[in-house]
Structure 1
Amino acid sequence: MNIPLFFLAFVTFSSTVFAQRTTTIFGTVTDLETHQPLPFANVVFQNSSVGTLTDSLGNFKLETKRNFDSLVVSLIGYKSQTLVVNRGVTEELAIQLVPSSYELGMVEVRPGENPAFKILRKVIANKPKNTPESLNYYEYEAYHRVQFDLNNFTEKIKKNLFLRPFDYMWENTDTTEDGINYLPMLLTESSEEHFYRKQPRSKKEVVKGRRTFKFFQAPKIMEFVNDMYVDPNIYENYVTILDRSFPSPINDYYKRNYNFLLDSGIHVIDGHPCHHIFFKPKGKSDVAFTGDMYIDTSHYAVVQTDLEFSVEANINFVRNYWIQQKYSFVDSTQWFLTSSRVIGDFTVIENAKDMTGFFGKKTTDIRNIKINEPRDAEYYATVDPIVIEDSAYVRDDAFWNEARRDTFSTEQQNLVNMIDRMNNDPKWKLLIGGIKLLADGWIPFRQIDIGHIYSFYTWNPIEQSRVKFGFRTNDKFSDQVKLSGYLAYGIGDNRFKGGGSAEFIFPGELRRRWVLGVSYKNDQFQQGMSQNVIALDHIFRSFGQISGEQRRTMLESYNTYIERQWFTGLSTRISMFRDRYSPLQQDFRVRSGLDTLNAENFTAAGAKFNLRFGFGEDELPATFDQVDRGFFFRKYPMISFEVAVGIKDFLNSNFNYQHYKLKLEYQLKANKAGYLNILAEGGIINGKLPYQLLHVPDGNPLVFNDDHGFNLMNYMEFVSDKYVSLQLEHHFNGLLFNLIPGVRLAKLRSLLIGKIYFGTLTDQNRNGNFLLADGMEVMQHPYAEVGFGIENILKISRID
């Protein structure tokens, strides 16, 4: 759950202010024939700019103190309707719009084949030469600008208790042509150069500049911003938008997904005679586009296309999404995308009473296109698909004026000034700090953060009451040195615990830096616990375990490492370690002849090598000691490899051993059928070892779901020194529930789950001197979990 965004939405939109003599109009807009709700319909007071849009259920609400007497309701594909309203009262309306046919002028309707199919067959036949990837070389410059606006807000939001001290933020409020009020609140821009070579295939992006103007830290909105950077290749059979696969209207199997309508006239676009074809999904709830496209009559290439999908596509927080692409015939040789516009209407709390949300607007301009002008071979030989120039984030205004070939509009400049004022307002800093505290658990204090507040107090059977205090440095301290530490005390065991770390990032290219780090920790450790859900000392673990028992040990760990990202997608780490395990809840038992003795501790020390590789990655991956939750949204598999070597007598180590581990994480797109998450792992451990150094599969006896663990397995159930595991989750993206009319509106989604683990234990560890813990078993047959789940409950929850 995205706490900062939902908390901000809650404190911003929840209060109610009552006014006298206010005209309030609310109700529902539906289709007269099907009685289905109509989202994104315009509801505007006549001859005014005061209005709103219906939500995904066709609901709307308008309030005004002005003396309007008529309401106009309109939607593309329907006849507009004007209604009389009563002033100064609250009134509910049930509005039904009459569908209207496409206004296409002269359209020939003949029995037999759809005339659009003849043109579409030629478009598909010419796709291989019309797509830019058919060229041997190309390069171009691209400028992107994204703006986010708060929309559909009312007077009571302005008077909200939390926003009342910042009245100046509303000075930039404007209204769209449809009468929807909006407030610009975020602006980003980016300048890039792109290079392509067909054989051997190579793509390279050079980021010349990036900057963002904002006065808040809302991860979900920043996700929306990133989702605006989309320029789908319409010549591909499927295009991915917001992590959903949409069939292109010129898909090789276009008849399966769309209904088409041909305008019989010829239209001239930028001097090119074009056919005009309209399209819409075959099924009302199909994940597909509604729109139109202009097809050049000579080359059968796309000259312009408009692609739109709405709430019917069943994508969270999206009320409407529109893409327009324009192509030019460059050098009379190749059709090439030269302009792209994207508009998204997002809602933070879907179907909220006030229907407040966000407009996302992206503009892309492409210029200086060069076709088949090759550079030196060395220029394309880079293994890094994205290069960020060192000065990309510190470009001056002169650079940006040249990059965009203009200056900011008055609206955009006012937005920049307002953001600067907000960021320097002490009251705003205090409000944002409070929201951030609840979100990530850290209290900012100058150059350090204090926390984690959700670990200040916890309870467990050994320590009973546990108190903890920690800190970490932030960017104000340094962008090259990172320090952290904590101290904890258990009331029940009367014992201190603690740890600390230091990391130094060497200067250099952003994506190819060296990192040197050291860490120390002396604290409780739970073997067989996944790090994917919550930490061992998080307050939720005090009451979240529903089965099994905890069997903790003490672990004193020293670690020093050097890490390097060689190029985007490939990182390595070499480390030296020393781990000492001491018993807490259960003795470490060792055979000595016919006797069984208790060992005080075990020590393992040696070296470790880690490698992570994700081909074609365009973002920095998490470092090795962080949980990366984004693997399943990457285009190519992510492969991780680890080898650890224990060296006896090195730093008092008791063991010689080798541990090899290989892991693969991937999301396989299934287009209309959703996607399949794949997590596969295997490992081999050589050496005579206690179970503390063998492999124990991650169980999850908590109430919280763990995608990477086994949710019906307790801690320390099984042990092995050779093992394989495979975890599969197929998400249907509403494919099944969308077929049920009443359920479809709830946007529930189904998934299938399959997990299997099998491990063996060699005789030297099965019958060796080191005894297993009570209740720990050697596997005789594979362990498997199979299940069915429903996700997207209230947009944030899932039940398996």
Structure 2
Amino acid sequence: MKKFLFSILLLSAYFADAQTKVGGMVTDETGEPVAFANILFKNSTEGTITNDDGRFYMESDMTHDTLVVSFIGFAELEILLTSKVNYDMKIVLKEATEQLKEVVLIAGKQPKKNNPAVDILRKIWEKKRRNGLRMFEQYKYDKYEKVEFDLNTIDSSVMKSKIFKGLEFVFQDLDTSRITGKTYLPIFLNEKFSKVYGDNLLNEEKEDILGSKNSGFENNQALTAFIQDMYAEYDVYNNYIEFYDKSFTSPLSRTGVDVYNYALRDSAFIDNKWCYNIVYYPRRKNELTFKGDFWVNDSTYAIKNINLQVTKSANLNWVKEFYIEQDFEVVNDSVFLLRRDYMLTDFSFRKKEESRGIYGKRTTVYDNHMFDIPKPKSFYRAESNPFDPLVMNRDSTFWENSRLETLNKDEKGVYQLLDTLKTVPKFKSYYNLISILGSGYVEVDKWNIDIGDVYSVFGYNDAEGVRLRAGARTYFGQNDPWRLEGYMAYGFKDNRVKHGISGKWLVDQKTRLIFSGGHRRDVEQLGLSLTSTNDVLGRSVASSSVLTVGSNNRLTNIDLSTFSMEMEPVTNFRIRFGSSFRTLSSALPDAFSLDYIDADSPTGISSEIKQFDISTLLIYTPGKRVIGYGVERYDINDDYSTLLLNYTRGLDGFLQSDFNYSKIQFSYSQPWQLGGFGRLLSTVEVGKTFGEVPLGLLNVIPGNQTLFSLYNAFPNLDFYEFVTDTYTSVHLEHNFNGRLFSRIPFLRKLNLREIVGLRGVWGELSNENIALSSPTNIPLQAPSDKIYYEYSVGVGNIFKIFRIDFNFRGNYLDAPNARPFAVTGSFGFSF
């Protein structure tokens, strides 16, 4: 993440303290940890339960002198607290010698039937659609949000390390988390104030951001996108809650009784409302579940307070702790509204107790609700601009009046410290280094350009041999109305210079009218997509893959010029009109030929295709969310569907273009969150070409001779093994997110994830097109006799970063050099 990953490790904080803090570990008499034991301040409703390792931490703004610890089958234990802060407590529970007359705090395996907690849960299911904002036709409220990042587990070794030499002043004061009890250093703060409008009849909602403030990252759109994606909105009443691309079962879910143990722990008046307290914890390990408790009203069965903590055994990477706390406000006898939402994530490479990491904290406060004030539908369709300079540069008076929760001392210190750090040369050096690693670009602020990207410098293929590339782009700010970008490359085998250049200009912000154009001369592995490439800057993995299966010698010289006009008349609906002129020829003619019959050629055969096309592209992405208003914007979610319709018309004669044809293509991609069963990604694509065209303009079924797992490609097909002018393809890939492996004892702790895939394609190739390309030196065939299909079984999350897929060819096994089995893999960081 540009200007972020390292910057969040180097900023400062001030001290704040709670009245009573306790933390430690609960074990039995043999020293074994007691998971999910109940911890409670005596004569209060403040409590928690131990984690999988028997550890706990809890703090209170009140002063308490006694701690109560209990677990079913053990004698209840009361411990006197000798001071306000009691860390590293070693609590040993003894086995109960007699049945307790009354169980107030309870844990262990709970029944599904004749359980008062489950009876209350069923009442919540009945009432949940009649609570909160859903009770009104329209609503409006103020929303204040602050996001903070902290460096945690600060000790003397960190303070004395060489990396902080000369920056010791950042450790002037430290604070302690009320959730984990760890020392932390606040280093980044983002604030946002907005007004939210909604209409339950129209099923519309709109958020107008009136103010936004970042501590030192005002110009970092990538960071803002990361924050919004990571801390997306959620509703605890939903059956599943999505975080980090994973679906967690909500404790209020209708399927919760199969996933959680529930126990009625207590009852009390809260804000003059009688409420029940229910504890919940997972029935099994390694599932995407929470543990915690909630208070629910006895008449409306609306949630008054709830906390959720992800168990350490959950199949989630890079997250050691994950905690949510929500408080609801009593508006009247029957209306409970969300008042405050607090979320804390402890990001760390390891889940061990002593490992260091970064806290990500979000606090959202809601207030000033108003109801049943209708607004026209056009009001909800009008977009506000969260990156308007006026919004980004609000004065201190605005923030003093708009904050629904005041900043504490350490949060105020973040702003103060960054101003100081910007003047420290060593900090600037660290800042620039991590900026390069995160974005891939070297920033040259003096010239307003970025050099890169650095990850595309090296490449290799059979035509070019070793290849080096260097590029640059203009960058004045995150909302630039225009941008130029280009690169140059050189192949040491063919001794040729390649280049690409692109320009974009946002003419009108309201309709997002954009003019763009570019030119590219390079070597490319075509046939990785059923749609012809018009990208003048990008490069496929197969074009630079060092390791391939078989001979990867079907490469193409491409000389491409493009021009297009794009607009977005309705949110998430884009229309693009464009034209392109391309010249195609084989980069290795002895191994791969693009020859076709040409009556106008002296030899009757041509080896080069010249083609001018005009095209119309319609793209609809319902549910897609973006930020920014410049010529380039950032996506902040990936759970939206994509519908694409493309019509291309080839014109012969114009600019010496060779062929006259029409091509229509349609595709539909949809990710499906299937709750506890994981995530399914599906794609359907159909297309047809009208007219006679040679191999270079036909639709090649995407093969994959690399060792990388590529979605929408067939790993058991060679490049150009199947060629079509009419086709239908389907791709399905399902990630169970470890649901099956979590049931296998010896695999459970590895947190592996199961992935299955099914791919199929049917297509035809006319005799006329076969005859036109008959001089080529590769066989031309289409999967017309029967649907070609493959299936795969994969294992993901190996050492948290690797994935391996075992791919099987279902038919056409008698084809020459057919590959019945292939192994591919990939690597990357994901939660």
Normalising by structure 2, what TM-score? 0.79
2:621 is aligned, of 614, 637, 640, to 614
8 Å Cα contact 1:39-1:319 kept in structure 2? no
2:769 is aligned, of 759, 765, 769, to 765
What is aligned with 1:778? 782
Question: In the alignment, residue 173 of structure 1 is paired with which amino acid?
Answer: L
Partner-residue secondary structure (3-state), 2:428: helix
Of 479-488 and 593-602, deviating more is 593-602
CA distance in 1, matches of 2:6, 2:51: 21
8 Å Cα contact 1:383-1:567 kept in structure 2? no
Question: In the alignment, residue 287 of structure 1 is paired with which amino acid?
Answer: L
Q: Deviations over 1:89-131 (max 9, x none)?
A: xxxx998954999997489999971223333333322223225
8 Å Cα contact 1:591-1:771 kept in structure 2? yes
What is aligned with 2:372? 372
Partner-residue secondary structure (3-state), 1:312: coil
Question: In the alignment, residue 521 of structure 2 is paired with which amino acid?
Answer: N
CA distance in 2, matches of 1:463, 1:132: 62
Going from structure 1 to structure 2, the CA distance change for 1:316 and 1:754 (only over 3 Å counts) comes to same
1:206 is aligned, of 183, 208, 221, to 208
8 Å Cα contact 2:339-2:366 kept in structure 1? yes
CA distance in 2, matches of 1:39, 1:259: 11
Going from structure 1 to structure 2, the CA distance change for 1:642 and 1:209 (only over 3 Å counts) comes to farther
Going from structure 1 to structure 2, the CA distance change for 1:281 and 1:668 (only over 3 Å counts) comes to same
CA distance in 2, matches of 1:331, 1:625: 47
CA distance in 2, matches of 1:495, 1:195: 58
CA distance in 2, matches of 1:216, 1:167: 25
What is aligned with 2:649? 645
Question: In the alignment, residue 298 of structure 1 is paired with which amino acid?
Answer: S
What is aligned with 2:522? 523
8 Å Cα contact 1:690-1:771 kept in structure 2? no
Q: Deviations over 1:664-717 (max 9, x none)?
A: 222112211112111222211112101111111222222222123222322222
Going from structure 1 to structure 2, the CA distance change for 1:198 and 1:478 (only over 3 Å counts) comes to closer
1:712 is aligned, of 697, 712, 716, to 716
- Correspondence list, 1:635-784, <5 A: 636-768=640-772, 771-779=775-783, 780-784=785-789
CA distance in 2, matches of 1:352, 1:147: 23
What is aligned with 1:16? none
Q: CA RMSD, aligned part only?
A: 4.3
User: How far is the alpha carbon of 1:433 from its aligned partner?
Assistant: 2.6
What is aligned with 2:263? 261
- Between the aligned residues of both structures, percent identity stands at 26
Partner-residue secondary structure (3-state), 1:255: helix
2:557 is aligned, of 548, 554, 557, to 554
Q: Deviations over 1:41-69 (max 9, x none)?
A: 99xxxxxxxxxx99987899xxxxxxxxx
What is aligned with 2:594? 588
CA distance in 2, matches of 1:171, 1:792: 40
CA distance in 1, matches of 2:220, 2:479: 23
Partner-residue secondary structure (3-state), 1:417: helix
Q: Report the count of equivalent residues.
A: 743
CA distance in 1, matches of 2:707, 2:771: 36
8 Å Cα contact 2:542-2:705 kept in structure 1? no
Partner-residue secondary structure (3-state), 2:699: coil
CA distance in 2, matches of 1:485, 1:121: 61
What is aligned with 1:601? 608
CA distance in 2, matches of 1:612, 1:306: 41
Q: Deviations over 1:454-489 (max 9, x none)?
A: 444544333334343322112359822211222333
8 Å Cα contact 1:455-1:538 kept in structure 2? no
What is aligned with 1:154? 155
Question: In the alignment, residue 424 of structure 2 is paired with which amino acid?
Answer: D
What is aligned with 1:23? none
- Correspondence list, 1:209-608, <5 A: 209-214=211-216, 225-226=227-228, 229-263=231-265, 265=267, 267-330=268-331, 332=333, 334-347=335-348, 349-351=349-351, 355-380=355-380, 382=381, 388=386, 390=388, 391-405=390-404, 407-446=406-445, 447-475=448-476, 479-506=480-507, 508-509=509-510, 512-529=511-528, 536=539, 541=544, 543-586=546-589, 587-591=593-597, 597-608=604-615
Going from structure 1 to structure 2, the CA distance change for 1:564 and 1:401 (only over 3 Å counts) comes to farther
What is aligned with 2:85? none
Going from structure 1 to structure 2, the CA distance change for 1:367 and 1:418 (only over 3 Å counts) comes to same
Normalising by structure 1, what TM-score? 0.82
CA distance in 1, matches of 2:575, 2:209: 24
Going from structure 1 to structure 2, the CA distance change for 1:112 and 1:160 (only over 3 Å counts) comes to closer
Of 210-219 and 486-495, deviating more is 210-219
Partner-residue secondary structure (3-state), 1:752: strand
User: How far is the alpha carbon of 1:792 from its aligned partner?
Assistant: 1.0
8 Å Cα contact 1:569-1:621 kept in structure 2? no
Question: In the alignment, residue 200 of structure 1 is paired with which amino acid?
Answer: L
CA distance in 1, matches of 2:539, 2:787: 28
8 Å Cα contact 1:758-1:783 kept in structure 2? yes
8 Å Cα contact 2:576-2:617 kept in structure 1? yes
Going from structure 1 to structure 2, the CA distance change for 1:75 and 1:333 (only over 3 Å counts) comes to closer
Could you list the runs of 5+ residues in structure 2 that have no partner in the other structure? 11-23, 40-48, 57-66, 81-87, 806-831
CA distance in 1, matches of 2:567, 2:598: 45
Of 214-223 and 676-685, deviating more is 214-223
Partner-residue secondary structure (3-state), 1:765: helix
8 Å Cα contact 1:725-1:757 kept in structure 2? yes
User: How far is the alpha carbon of 1:327 from its aligned partner?
Assistant: 1.9
Question: In the alignment, residue 357 of structure 2 is paired with which amino acid?
Answer: G
Going from structure 1 to structure 2, the CA distance change for 1:41 and 1:189 (only over 3 Å counts) comes to farther
User: How far is the alpha carbon of 1:517 from its aligned partner?
Assistant: 1.3
8 Å Cα contact 1:789-1:798 kept in structure 2? yes
8 Å Cα contact 1:606-1:650 kept in structure 2? no
Going from structure 1 to structure 2, the CA distance change for 1:184 and 1:217 (only over 3 Å counts) comes to farther
Going from structure 1 to structure 2, the CA distance change for 1:499 and 1:705 (only over 3 Å counts) comes to same
What is aligned with 2:823? none
Identify which of structures 1 and 2 has the higher relative contact order when contacts are C-alpha pairs closer than 8 Å and 6+ apart: 2
1:788 matched to 2:793? The reply is yes
8 Å Cα contact 1:5-1:220 kept in structure 2? no
8 Å Cα contact 1:107-1:264 kept in structure 2? no
CA distance in 2, matches of 1:705, 1:99: 54
8 Å Cα contact 2:624-2:635 kept in structure 1? no
What is aligned with 2:811? none
8 Å Cα contact 2:596-2:776 kept in structure 1? no
Question: In the alignment, residue 199 of structure 1 is paired with which amino acid?
Answer: L
CA distance in 2, matches of 1:58, 1:147: 28
8 Å Cα contact 1:720-1:759 kept in structure 2? yes
CA distance in 2, matches of 1:752, 1:773: 36
